[in-house]
Structure formats: C-alpha cells, structure tokens
Chains A and B, each alone.
Chain A
Amino acid sequence: MKLIIAIIQPDRLESVKQELYKQEVYLITVNEVLGHGRQMGVTEVYRGVKEMGNLLRKIRLEIAVNEDFAEKTISAIIKGAQTGETGDGKIFVLDLAECVRIRTEERGGVAIG
C-alpha cells in the first residue's frame, strides 16, 4: 500500500479530480495549505508597508492506494496538474504500513478501496 501526497495549484484541483475519476480513484482527502518553492510568493502592501515573499495558497491531496493503483494515480495527478510553469507542485509517495476501516474494522488492501 502507498500513501500519495501531492501539493498542487488550487485552480488545478478540479482537473486533477476529473483525471482521478477516470482512473477510478475516488477516495481522496483535500487540505488547503500554504507554502512556496521557487516562486517566492507575491508582494502585498498594507498602508504602504510591503510584505515580501508571502506564502501562497496550495492544495494538498492525500490518497491511499493499493500497489497496482499507485502509478495510475501518479500519472493522473500529473496529467491534471501540469502546466509547465514554476509552481506546478510535487508528488510524494510513501509506503503505508496499515489501513483500517473504522466501520467494519477491515484491515489492509480491502480497507483502502
């Protein structure tokens, strides 16, 4: 089992979701987060005082999948989120030790899907 964490641009969320649905990946968790990589944010001004390098809004997705879904999920996220510009985001893939469905107490691969 893998846990896939992706940081993407907020406006790409809709197209990433559509790509994931095409691969029959429906179970996702979405967070709004702040951060910046090479973009270094936008300068804001409040009553003439400049705020440099403010953090930018990003979307963080968490998707837990079985091994055979991992590559499909990764390519779906890339397909939905890639624009070719700085700030498109990153995908992190982690090994997942266990997964329990609370309702039934099922464990492992069955609990994920």
Chain B
Amino acid sequence: MKRFFVTLLLVCFLGMPALALHALAQDAPSVAGGAVREGAAPSAPAAQAPLKADTGDTAWLIVATALVMLMTPGLAFFYGGMVGRKNVLGILMQCFTILCLISVQWVLYGYSLSFAPGKGFWGSLEWAGLKGVGFAPYADYAATIPHQLFMVFQMMFAIITPALIIGAFAERMKFSAFVVFMVLWATFVYDPVCHWVWGVGGWLKELGALDFAGGTVVHINAGIAALMTAIFIGKRKGAAGKAILPHNLPFTILGTALLWFGWFGFNAGSSLGANDIAVNAFIVTNTAAAAAGLTWALIDWIFNKKPTMLGMATGAVAGLVAITPAAGFVSALSAIAIGVLVSVLCYFVVAYIKPKLGYDDALDVFGVHCVGGIWGAVATGLFASKAVNPAGADGLFFGNPKQLLVQVIAVAATAAYSFAASFIIYKAIDLVMKVRVKEKDEIVGLDLTQHHENAYTVLE
C-alpha cells in the first residue's frame, strides 16, 4: 500500500506541472498553428507574413532528429558490450531511462532554460511547457524550419549528453541515485552550458566561440562530469591491476556503427538546413571517423603487435567526437589531420595517463569524449576556414590567432563549470542516499540487484 502511495505521489509530481503548463500554454501554439495553416492554404494568404518554413530543410531536419535519437540506444550497445555480462541490462536501462527522462524534462522546462532568450548564464522559464514555441520558424536559431522542430532536434542532444557519462561509473552506481543525478545534472549543468554556447544571449556565443555541433556542450561537458564521477565513486571491485573484460564486443561494434550512422544527423543536421554546409559536415564527419579508426588500429598494431576491433571502434568514436565542433568549418583534408591526431592523443591518455593516475573511468568517457572534444574545439580554432563556411571564422592556420584563444576560453570555462557543478550535485546525492551500490550487490551484478532481471540465461 505504501508503495502505491509513493507511485501516486510521483505521478502527481511529474504530471501536475505538465497539466499546469498545459493550461498556461493553451493560447500560444494555437496562434502559431493557425498561422501555418493559413500559409499552407493558397486561397487564404496570411495577413502579416510570418517566416515560412522551407520544406527541404524541414524534411532533412526531421530525419536528422530521428538519426540523433538512435545514437542513445547505439551508445547503450557501445557501452553494454564493454561491461561484464552481469551488468549489461544496467547500462541499457540507464541509457533508456535518460531517453525517457530528458524527453519529458526538455518539454517541461529544459528547452526553455537552455534556449529561451535570457541572461548570459541561463535562459528563462518563458518557454516552459513549450509555451510560445510554435510552428513558425524562430529566426535567431533557425529561420527555415519550424521552431518546434528545432526544439525536438535539440532535445536529442540533451538526451545523449548525460547518457555519455554512464560509461564512467558503469557497473557500480545505484539506480535510484543515478536517476536523481541525471535530472539534476541536466537541469544545472547541461541546460546552462547549452545556453552559454548556443542560446540567444549566451556569453560564449557573444564571445564568438565556434561549436558547430556540440564539442563543448556535449563532449567536454559530459567528459569532465564523467571524470569527476569516476574519481569520487571509486574503482570497480576487481579493477585493481587487471582489465575487466568486455562481455560482448560485437554489441560494442554494433553500437559504434549506430553511433557513426546517427552522427550524420548530429553533425550534418546541425547546419539546420539541407545545404552545402550540411554536405560538408557529412563528408568531414565520415572522413574524420575513418582516419581516426585507421590510426587507432595502427597504433595497436605497432604497440601491441595486433590491430584490434575494439581499438578501431574506439578510434572511430574519438574521430567523430573530434570533428563535431569543427564539422561546419573545416575541409575534408583538415578532417583527416583532426582524425589522425585525435586517436594519437586519446590513445596516449587511455593507455598511459589513466593507469598512472589510477582513476577507474570504466569505459573511457574522459579519455575519448573529453580529450577528443578538447582537441576538436582547439582544432576548430586551428583549421576553421571561411572558404568552407562564410558564416564561420578563420582559424590560426588561416591567419586568425584570436579564434584559437576564444576556443580555449570556451573549453576552460565549460570544463571548470561542469566539474564544479557536477561535483556539488554528486556530493549532495551521496549525502542523502549513497551513490554506490553495496559491495555484495556489485559482486552479484547490477542486472539482478538493481532490476531483478538477467540478460542471459545459462540453461534453455
């Protein structure tokens, strides 16, 4: 009976704001909806012509949004294959929980905090519950697609970012603590940082920082939070002095393939239109991933005698991370340089720095996403060229050293804020409910202890 009341309370907690916001939002979308309907009917021309969405751009962005959504399940398999088989459902569950949780959070208030016009630090609650977010394009973000489409495209980014952190505390975080951590992290870390870089009035945007598809907002932000959780949650039991073997590498490769596929939506979609920039982003994304995958395999071959599948997959993901902030501003040849160097850097951090420092970043979120993201952001400052994107800027190699400085400021500010804010959230939760599972539960595995399920049967 007690449980029933707790459930009821939870439903009220989530449902009430939704209902309240719904009542508030009643007017706005109907106005916007009416405008679009008028625009679509040739017999009734609209009185004051609102911005009209371009059908080609809209079609591409709908597809791109769906592609980015697929990255989170892809990530689930990428990570799920690398953990022990007693913890694979735990990983899948965490990724899917974020998919569901942030989808709701974004509609209720996440989008508003991130993108509603506001101060330098945060957006406002003006667009809470999507009040005023209609079908007519919002020119400050995307002049040729419906505002709601821009909102849902951004939602997929807000989902994958916290999901990236999962790899750091894999195999040892309590599920209840995980849920609370993710809600708070999305609200107090992702939403502000997203606003800084992409929101109208965001201070890094004002500064001129270039982040095409989310190197700072997504990868550095998540990577630093991952490092923080890995340090403070402690090592996995059994991680001392030996590797914990991946239980299903084909899952990891499947995940890598889905991530690569989805990344076309992530990067080429970030042009917010079906145009030359999207084509360029598509090509450099593929090129950088390929160059980085080859490089990592080659490094494996030289240092460990054989090229490995996991190495090539890791390299490809590192390449995708690194090209993310640069995708709209660099050429295919620069993409090769970015891809080759990211594998060298990430390999060095994962294989040498991590064992030296002794933190247990279980699936190398920091080593791949943060290091790759930082390199990508810096590389944007080096390789960006107005010949590729007139709306961008020239980097150091094209005669503009100032851009490099701006990029470094953006990286440093994001990293510092993300580390500090994530730390406060983590410690607060640890005080109230203990973040780590009991030792016995860790031994038995998260699948059975956190979810009362088993991924694989031994008999039948």
Which of A9, A44, A55, A57 interacts with B452 by CB under 8 Å?
A44
Cβ–Cβ contact B238 & A44, under 8 A: no
Asked if A11 is an interface residue, CB under 8 A from chain B, the answer is yes
In the assembled complex, how far is the CB of residue B446 from the closest CB belonging to chain A, in whole angstroms? 13
Asked if B391 is an interface residue, CB under 8 A from chain A, the answer is no
Asked if A32 is an interface residue, CB under 8 A from chain B, the answer is yes
Interface size class of B (residues with CB under 8 A): 10 to 19
Chain A 40-60 near chain B by CB (<8 Å), digits 1 or 0: 001111100000001101000
Contact (A45, B453) CB under 8 Å given A11-B238, A11-B443, A14-B238: yes
Cβ–Cβ contact B453 & A34, under 8 A: no
Asked if B444 is an interface residue, CB under 8 A from chain A, the answer is yes
Chain A residues lying within 8 Å of B443, measured Cβ to Cβ, are 9, 11
- Give the contacts of B425-460 with A (CB-CB under 8 A): 443-444, 448, 452-454, 458-459
Per the bound structure, the CA–CA distance linking A11 and B237 in Å amounts to 10
Which of A32, A42, A46 interacts with B458 by CB under 8 Å?
A32
Chain B residues lying within 8 Å of A11, measured Cβ to Cβ, are 237-238, 443
Interface size class of A (residues with CB under 8 A): 10 to 19
Select from chain B the residue with minimum beta-carbon distance to A32: B458
Cβ–Cβ contact A44 & B459, under 8 A: no
- Give the contacts of B13-67 with A (CB-CB under 8 A): none
Chain B residues lying within 8 Å of A14, measured Cβ to Cβ, are 238, 242
Q: How many A-B residue pairs have CB under 8 A?
A: 24
Chain A residues lying within 8 Å of B448, measured Cβ to Cβ, are 42, 44
Per the bound structure, the CA–CA distance linking A14 and B238 in Å amounts to 9
Cβ–Cβ contact A57 & B458, under 8 A: yes
Chain B residues lying within 8 Å of A34, measured Cβ to Cβ, are 458-459
In the assembled complex, how far is the CB of residue A94 from the closest CB belonging to chain B, in whole angstroms? 25
Chain B 246-269 near chain A by CB (<8 Å), digits 1 or 0: 000000000000000000000000
Among A11, A46, A54, A55, max chain B CB count under 10 A is at A11
Per the bound structure, the CA–CA distance linking A40 and B437 in Å amounts to 22
Select from chain B the residue with minimum beta-carbon distance to A11: B443
Chain A residues lying within 8 Å of B237, measured Cβ to Cβ, are 11
Contact (A44, B453) CB under 8 Å given A11-B238, A14-B238, A57-B458: yes
Per the bound structure, the CA–CA distance linking A44 and B452 in Å amounts to 5
In the assembled complex, how far is the CB of residue B180 from the closest CB belonging to chain A, in whole angstroms? 23
In the assembled complex, how far is the CB of residue B451 from the closest CB belonging to chain A, in whole angstroms? 9
Contact (A43, B238) CB under 8 Å given A11-B443, A34-B458, A57-B458: no
Cβ–Cβ contact A46 & B444, under 8 A: no
Per the bound structure, the CA–CA distance linking A43 and B238 in Å amounts to 26
Per the bound structure, the CA–CA distance linking A54 and B458 in Å amounts to 11
Chain A residues lying within 8 Å of B444, measured Cβ to Cβ, are 42
Select from chain A the residue with minimum beta-carbon distance to B452: A45
Select from chain B the residue with minimum beta-carbon distance to A54: B454
Which of B242, B452, B458, B459 interacts with A43 by CB under 8 Å?
B452
Chain A residues lying within 8 Å of B242, measured Cβ to Cβ, are 14
In the assembled complex, how far is the CB of residue B440 from the closest CB belonging to chain A, in whole angstroms? 8
Select from chain B the residue with minimum beta-carbon distance to A12: B443
In the assembled complex, how far is the CB of residue A39 from the closest CB belonging to chain B, in whole angstroms? 11
In the assembled complex, how far is the CB of residue A18 from the closest CB belonging to chain B, in whole angstroms? 11
Per the bound structure, the CA–CA distance linking A46 and B452 in Å amounts to 8
Per the bound structure, the CA–CA distance linking A44 and B89 in Å amounts to 13
Chain A residues lying within 8 Å of B238, measured Cβ to Cβ, are 11, 14
Chain B residues lying within 8 Å of A9, measured Cβ to Cβ, are 443
In the assembled complex, how far is the CB of residue B7 from the closest CB belonging to chain A, in whole angstroms? 14
In the assembled complex, how far is the CB of residue A67 from the closest CB belonging to chain B, in whole angstroms? 34
In the assembled complex, how far is the CB of residue B5 from the closest CB belonging to chain A, in whole angstroms? 19
Per the bound structure, the CA–CA distance linking A32 and B457 in Å amounts to 12
Q: What are 22 A-B contacts with C-beta separation under 8 Å?
A: A11-B238, A11-B443, A14-B238, A14-B242, A32-B458, A34-B458, A34-B459, A42-B444, A42-B448, A42-B452, A43-B452, A44-B448, A44-B452, A44-B453, A44-B454, A45-B452, A45-B453, A46-B453, A54-B454, A55-B458, A55-B459, A57-B458
5 tightest A-B CB contacts, nearest first: A45-B452, A11-B443, A44-B452, A34-B458, A42-B448
Residues of B within 8 A of A (CB): 237-238, 242, 443-444, 448, 452-454, 458-459
Having A14-B242, A44-B452, one finds 20 other A-B pairs with CB under 8 Å, namely A9-B443, A11-B237, A11-B238, A11-B443, A14-B238, A34-B458, A34-B459, A42-B444, A42-B448, A42-B452, A43-B452, A44-B448, A44-B453, A44-B454, A45-B452, A45-B453, A46-B453, A54-B454, A55-B458, A57-B458
